[in-house]
Amino acid sequence: MEPRRTAALALMERLRRHEIEAEAQELGRLRAEEARLLRRKDELTRRLSEESRTGDPALVAYLGNFLRSMRSEIARVERDRARIEPDLTALETRISAAFREMKTYETVRLAAQQEARESRAKREDAEAGEVALLRWWRARAGRPLAAPSGKEKARSA
């Protein structure tokens, strides 16, 4: 593969990596929001269970309103969490697809580089074999291994 194509693959791989990093940051933000909502829900549930058991007769009149309020707040938190869940799933899917694409570019690029190295090594081996064969023929014919210099050419003429 041409060096230009290998460089293009490396560029596409880098671009995908940057896209993945940006989306991973957004995924982290959404996960933090989800964790915050879950903590809030757990806190509300805990308060609901603890504070609904009151022994004070003066608070019994307010208990119904308190329970309705707590349950509606828990439901709101659940709706908020359910609202961000599709975004989380879509983002995870996009990151996964981009990662697969980036790895495909990387695999193709690495295979092309390996092929180029093997091709270069094969050419070098062929050239070395040709040089060795020429030396062998020259040695067999009794000719010198090095090319004759200018003085040697003048003497032989």
CA–CA gap between residue 34 and residue 88 (Å, rounded) = 9
C-alpha separations of 82 from 29, 59, 69, 89 in Å = 16, 34, 20, 11
In a domain, 122, yes or no: yes
Q: What is the pLDDT of residues 63-92, one digit of tens each?
A: 888 889 999 999 999 999 999 999 999 999
In a domain, 76, yes or no: yes
What ranges in the chain are assigned the alpha helix state H?
Answer: 3-51, 60-141, 150-156
Instruction: State how many domains the chain has.
Output: 1
Q: What is the pLDDT of residues 98-139, one digit of tens each?
A: 999 999 999 999 998 899 899 999 999 999 989 888 888 888
Residues spanned by the domain of 47: 3-142
Q: Confidence class of residue 97 from pLDDT cuts 50, 70 and 90?
A: very high
Q: Choose the most confident range, by mean pLDDT, from 40-54, 78-92, 121-135, 140-154.
A: 78-92
In a domain, 153, yes or no: no
Are 101 and 16 a contacting pair, CB within 8 Å?
A: yes
Are 50 and 121 a contacting pair, CB within 8 Å?
A: no
Are 112 and 5 a contacting pair, CB within 8 Å?
A: yes
Q: Quick one: which of 79, 112, 87 has its CA closest to 23?
A: 87
In a domain, 156, yes or no: no
Are 46 and 53 a contacting pair, CB within 8 Å?
A: no
